[in-house]
Amino acid sequence: MLITDKELPNLPANVRVNVHSHGYFVYSVEFRTANGSRFYSRDGLEVQRFMSLQGIKEAFQTLPLQDIWLIHHSAYDEMVGQPVGAESELAVPLDFSLPYE
């Protein structure tokens, strides 16, 4: 399922935000609540792809997000520039009050 800009202000305060790293500087944003999870979409048709953490920070700067995680689905492969292989998920907390440039 998808969530659009129009729906973002209605998110509960305890929303968990997962920033998924798909390798090679491609990210998607998932909002998880007690009602399930939804990926961010600007147009409501497809998942929005971001090319940087700074771009994500700027897109959601007006929201009071607290529980933000960067999820690497194949952390080692990403680090050495190899294609994504076997699942070896790594979750790292993010703080959007810090600069990501």
**Domain locations along the chain:** 2-94
Distance, CA of 59 to chain centre: 11
| pTM across the whole model | 0.83
CA 64 to chain centre: 15
Q: What is the pLDDT of residue 77?
A: 59
What is residue 75's predicted lDDT score, i.e. its pLDDT? 57
End-to-end CA distance of the chain: 30
Instruction: Quick: pLDDT tens for 57-98.
Output: 999 988 989 899 999 876 565 566 666 555 567 889 998 876
Pair 40, 29: CB distance under 8 Å: yes
- Give the C-alpha separation, 92 to 34, whole Å: 21
Beta carbons of 54 and 91 less than 8 angstroms apart: no
pLDDT tens for each residue of 21-55: 987 789 999 999 999 999 999 999 999 999 999 99
